[in-house]
Every structure is written in C-alpha cells, then in structure tokens.
Amino acid sequence: MGIGNDYPHGAQIDWVLGRYSEEELTTLQPSIDTAVEIIKSFVLAGIDITMNQYNKMGKGKSEKGKVISDK
C-alpha cells in the first residue's frame, strides 16, 4: 500500500491526515482485520508461530487470499 506520487510538493499531508472514503475503507478493511489477527497471534502464540503462520500468506494477500490494493 502507498499513497502514490500524484501530489504537488507537500500536498501528501492532506491525504495522509485526511479521512478515508467509503471505497478506501472497504479496500483497507481486510488488511486491518489481518493486522488484528497477527497481533492477537503474536500476543497469544509468540513470534515464531506468528511468523511461520503469516509469512506463508505471501506479499499482497490478505488472510483469505484476496489480493490487497497497492494504493
């Protein structure tokens, strides 16, 4: 994920500190859900098990295997 480079110098701050649109929230929600599950796993199972479980998911994929946007 990222914000891209389509901004005049210094204008990225409006995007970074602004609110997400409904479409952006819909796109972002699977990543948030996965992050929550990773944090829970780390706290309850430890780093080794968590890394083994979630590093297998692959870059750019959510827990359910859906591709996550590179926004």
pLDDT tens by residue, 15-67: 788 898 999 899 999 999 999 999 999 999 999 999 999 998 866 554 455 54
Q: Is residue 17 within 8 Å of 30, Cβ to Cβ?
A: no
Tokens for 49? 């098990």
How far apart CA 50 and CA 39 sit, in angstroms, is: 9
Q: What is the pLDDT of residue 70?
A: 43
Tokens for 39? 């944090």
Q: What is the pLDDT of residue 48?
A: 96
pTM > 0.75: no
> What is the DSSP code string of 6-32?
-S-TTTHHHHHHSPPPHHHHHHHHHHH
Tokens for 30? 């699977």
